Amino acid sequence: MNHAAKNIDPRDRLIFALDVPTRAQALEWVERLGDAVTFYKIGMELLTSGEYFQVLEDLSARGKKIFVDLKFFDVPATVASAVKGLTRHPVYFCTIHGNDGMMRAAAAVKGDIKLLAVTALTSLDQHDLDDMGFQCDAEQLVLSRAKAALAAGCDGVVSSGLEVAALRREVDHALITVCPGIRPLGNSDDQKRTLDVAEAFAAGADYIVVGRPIRQADDPRAAALAIQATIAQSL
């Protein structure tokens, strides 16, 4: 896979999921991980702390890249207003759900933010998709939403690593692929559609999001550095 075409710093390809409830804990993790992590995802858990944008500014002040993962979903005008509001902050990525109207409205006002469309959550398997009424498998759903995202003006998609190879075959390589749910082999948590680090990059992932395998490691910084080494070897 031609990863170099997007000119991404290899160390930025690991995104750590900063899933903690307070600013103090977030900053503890940033200090603990140091130069092992250059890119952070902040999502809904920190949003409810009331300190979300303080953390965002803290990360920026430390030279970190920021992925705002709030998965906006509402009428197009409301989603566009939320995305436009984020342009006042040092945000690199933000997520919205892959609805055509929302994506087009948000893409029109995203400024320098790279807009990522959520395709299918990695916690969903085929049984879940069947229950939700989708008459297709996960790969078909991801491909359909990815093509719609690119046509709507989004920069990339969030998808399981399991669908990345198909995305690379069937969707323009300009599309950024961000893969959450990256797990060691033998994973048994709530992420169902997963790959390990080397497999994700072999399939064509541009970025991976890793949370618990670093956070729950005996030595989190060493775990992050090991992932960085695997990424470097995979490119």
Q: What is the residue type of 124?
A: L
30 annotated as a binding-site residue: no
C-beta separation of 94 from 119 below 8 A: no
Domains of the chain and any CATH numbers? 4-234 (3.20.20.70)
Instruction: Give the confidence band of 128 by pLDDT, cuts at 50, 70, 90.
Output: very low
147 annotated as a binding-site residue: no
Specify whether 206 is catalytic. Answer: no
Specify whether 71 is catalytic. Answer: yes
Instruction: Give the confidence band of 183 by pLDDT, cuts at 50, 70, 90.
Output: low
Q: Is the pLDDT of residue 31 over 70?
A: yes
pLDDT at 119: 78
Sign of CA dihedral 17, 19, 20, 22: positive
83 annotated as a binding-site residue: no
Q: Which of 12, 74, 100, 128 is catalytic?
A: 74
Higher pLDDT, 123 or 23: 23
The strand pairing partners of 115, in sequence order, are 94
> Taking residues 29-44, what's their average pLDDT?
97
69 annotated as a binding-site residue: yes
Mean pLDDT computed over every residue of the chain: 86
Q: What percent of the chain has pLDDT over 90?
A: 63
> Taking residues 115-127, what's their average pLDDT?
66
Question: Could you give the CA distance from residue 230 to residue 116 in angstroms, rounded to a whole number?
Answer: 25
72 annotated as a binding-site residue: yes
Q: Which of 64, 65, 69, 206 is catalytic?
A: 69
Q: Is the pLDDT of residue 227 over 90?
A: yes
Q: Which of 6, 12, 58, 71 is catalytic?
A: 71
88 backbone φψ class: left, alpha, beta (φ>0; ψ -120 to 50): alpha
Higher pLDDT, 74 or 145: 74
Nearest 5 degrees, angle CA 222-CA 195-CA 14? 40
95 annotated as a binding-site residue: no
Closest CA to 82 of 93, 70, 90: 70
pLDDT at 99: 83
